[in-house]
Structure 1
Amino acid sequence: MLILPEALIADLVTPDAAMEAVADCFRAMSDGKARNFPVVREALGEGRQYGFKSGLDLAGAQMGVKAGGYFPGNAAKGIINHQSSVFLFDPETGRPVAMVGGNLLTALRTAAASALSIDRLARDDARVLGIVGAGHQAAFQLRAAARVRRFERVIGWNYHPEMLPQLAAVAAELGLPFEAVDLPGMRQADVIVTITSSPAASLMADHVAPGTHLACMGTDTKGKQEVETALLAQTRLFTDEVAQSVTIGEAQHAVAAGLVSAGAITPLGDVLTGRHPGRKSAKEITLFDGTGVGLQDIAVAARAVAAAQARGLGIEVAV
């Protein structure tokens, strides 16, 4: 078994490689050649979450599981709040193939999924990017979004506004002006990415202008919520996996309220494979409910393993 510590991942997986892996994963799911297994998620108290996401991709000959979660006390200890590891197995024999540090991989695959939704669903003339949230993953979201659209400026909001200068610095690296706004100011945005761990909605329906594309990337657990339930009823809905969207994703609240049905939610993979046209007008609001599927973690981890093997990196252990 090959062990790839977290410190190696940045040199093994580029944002382009992550996006290619995630796109392949979406297509395999749409083609019925890959499936996620039920998510196991447990609350540990004091805001801590721990669980498992797993799946099997026959197209990519990949099987594995990501173990990890969210530990909000980590920031005070100098480490990121999201902690995870990905384990890959031979789908034919079940033997372990690799253990891969999953923290950077999670940020890369989450940003890649968001960017793919922007690429396929945002208006071609989108010029203003809004970011709701300024934590660790927000910088990855901003960089990935800027790879697929030529934004002219970035606006941002965070519950703790003192964190926004970190996001402004990333925008400056990309040559984009940044402005901190209140939530109603998000109506200026053509694309809005929400990337928070909020238990209650912050972005409301009247904060979103017609024609906007939203990538809601923070809700992956029962009880979390980033946007007002009524907003989902006004949008054309897409997701990474419908089963997760209606149970642990942003759509869980709209489904519970009877405002949205599972049948109204389209897998983004169907857009990538041409089974669904995606956005149908310049005025409609589109929303991607990014719940984070285990297959994407597995796909990106497999890219890291392939790159490490080609370069003779990692630690081999007998199992």
Structure 2
Amino acid sequence: MKETLLFTREQIAEVLKMDDVIASVEEAYRLFSQQKVMLPPVLSFEVEKHHGEVDIKTGYDTADDIICVKIASGYANNQRDYGIPNGLATILIMDAKNSTPIAIMDGSLITDMRTGAAGAVSAKYLANPSAKKVAIVGTGVIARWELEALSRVFELEEAFVWGRSSEKVTAYIQEMQTRVGITYTACSDLENCVSQADIVITATSSKEALIQSDWIRPGTHIACIGADMPGKQELDEALFRRAKAFTDSSAQCIERGEVQHAVREGILAESDLTEIGQVILGNKPGRMSESDITVFDSTGLSVQDITTAKKVVAVLKERGGNLTVNLI
């Protein structure tokens, strides 16, 4: 009988640390640009009557012979109606040699943390090294992990926080003061929020441009995390006339990322996009001057789940005492 490991969110939280996740995400971008992983197109659909959306991301790590399947969802009313997180995910890790299941695990924490780490990795390679001030656009779980991850890469001094609800902005600041010890400023005006920042993190579910081009000062780095499905948008596409555009996967971002609108309008061509993995590998330039505006479009790659989940499996297997099930 082949035993399959079962890992809960609580077990994963005990061993998964942000510094390790940042390293895993950086490794993921390298592997993707080295073509050492096979990533089929993302399958997405909306569950409109329940105010939900579902993403199915899969990947094959050819080096370690591992297949990963993740079903992730965002349901706007989960917390209110059922007392469970709005974002949920489950990850299945399989042995590529014979497709037997190695592990089934909660994928929510892995998804949240690796998504948060993406912005930090982009800033590490694309932001001005002297960056001290960050604007956080959005107040959800991802916006929390984004700031925590960024604080591991930069010596931040101040965060400007904007959200549609002043109550949620207050709650965000109250929580993050215990996680990242910097000065916080609640912003009611979005232009005022982003125009003061060296780094801007956008993490909303918006389907229309929130940030206008002329609000962004020279030298700013923007990490766009929210646009991950066709139709979503956080930036005025005209900003890409001034900015250099970077992606996690250019093909995926054209289809479902922040750049989709600028490409459709003819402002950007695929040849204008640089994948972050190529910058990390030193194959392509990133920021060329202190005054460059850089935009990173993060749609999320299955390889980020693979590199992070592999570490979780290795650590928890070594600890022992895990639940198992015989599925075959």
Which range, TM-score by smaller chain? over 0.9
Whether 2:51 is the aligned partner of 1:44: answer: no
TM-score after normalising by structure 1: 0.97
Alignment partners' CA distance in 2, 1:22 and 1:313: 28
Give 5+ residue unaligned stretches, structure 1.
none
Residue 43 of structure 1 deviates from its aligned partner by 1.2
Identity of counterpart residues, as a percentage?
A: 34
Residues 313 and 223 of structure 1: CA distance in aligned 2, closer, same or farther (over 3 Å): farther
Q: Does 1:156 align with 2:161?
A: yes
CA offset digits 1:176-226 (Å, max 9, x no partner): 111112111111000000011112121111221111000001111111111
Equivalent positions of 1:25-104 (< 5 A) are 25-46=28-49, 47-76=51-80, 77-104=82-109
Task: Give the distance between the partners of 1:70 and 1:171, measured in 2 at CA.
Answer: 22
Does residue 304 of the first structure (1) align with residue 304 of the second (2)? no
Residues 66 and 298, structure 1, Cα contact 8 Å, conserved in 2 = no
Which shifted more, 308-317 or 143-152? 308-317
Residues in 2 aligned to 1:51 and 1:153: alpha-carbon distance in whole angstroms:
34
Structure 2 unaligned segments of length 5 or more: list them: none
> Is 1:294 the equivalent of 2:297?
no
Aligned-residue offset at 1:30: 1.2
Matches within 5 A, 1:101-112: 101-112=106-117
Give the drift of 1:154. Answer: 0.7
Please identify runs of 4+ aligned residues in structure 1 that moved more than 6 A.
none
Task: Give CA-to-partner distance per residue, 1:223-276, whole Å, 9 cap, x none.
Answer: 111111111232111111111100011111111111111121111111111111
Deviation at 1:172, TM superposition (A): 2.4
Which position in structure 1 is the counterpart of 2:268? 260
Aligned equivalents of 2:165, 2:64: Cα separation in 1: 41
Distance 1:240 1:82 in 2: 21
Does residue 12 of structure 2 align to residue 5 of structure 1?
no
Asked if 1:177 corresponds to 2:183, the answer is yes
Cα distance change of structure 1 residues 143 and 219 upon mapping to structure 2, 3 Å threshold = same
The residue identity in structure 2 corresponding to 1:301 is: A
Aligned-residue offset at 1:35? 2.7
Cα contact 1:255–1:261 (8 A) shared by 2: yes
Distance 1:297 1:190 in 2: 29
Instruction: Check whether the contact 1:202–1:226 (CA below 8 A) recurs between aligned residues.
Output: yes
Q: 1:118 aligns with which of 120, 123, 129?
A: 123
The number of residues matched between the two structures is 319
